[in-house]
Amino acid sequence: MQQAIADCKSIAGDDLVIMSDLCVDEYTDHGHCGVVNDDGSIDNDLTLDLYKKLQLHKHTPVLM
């Protein structure tokens, strides 16, 4: 998704506003944000590292 957004922005420039939801709660059966450990707990540190790798240009309160 990040590459697709970058490609669109490089073509359209600042005339295009793109909003995306890159939270990882879609991948859990309980809806909580975060990378799930083998024991079912959320690994907050690993989750924060993942979000840093996403290199968000701007974020919204949904990531809080």
pLDDT in tens, 4-29: 888 988 998 888 888 777 677 766 77
* Residue 43 resides in a domain: yes
pLDDT recorded at residue 6: 86
Task: Over range 30-47, report the average pLDDT.
Answer: 85
Domain count within the chain: 1
In angstroms, the first-to-last Cα distance of the chain is: 20
pLDDT recorded at residue 55: 63
* Residue 64 resides in a domain: yes
Which three-class secondary structure string do you get for the chain? CHHHHHHHHHHHHHHCCCCCCCCCHHHCCCCCCCEECCCCCEEHHHHHHHHHHHCCCCCCHHHC
* Residue 1 resides in a domain: no
Whether the CB-CB separation of 62 and 23 falls below 8 Å is answered with yes
* Residue 35 resides in a domain: yes
Tell me the pTM: 0.50
Task: Say how far apart CA 17 and CA 41 lie, in whole Å.
Answer: 35
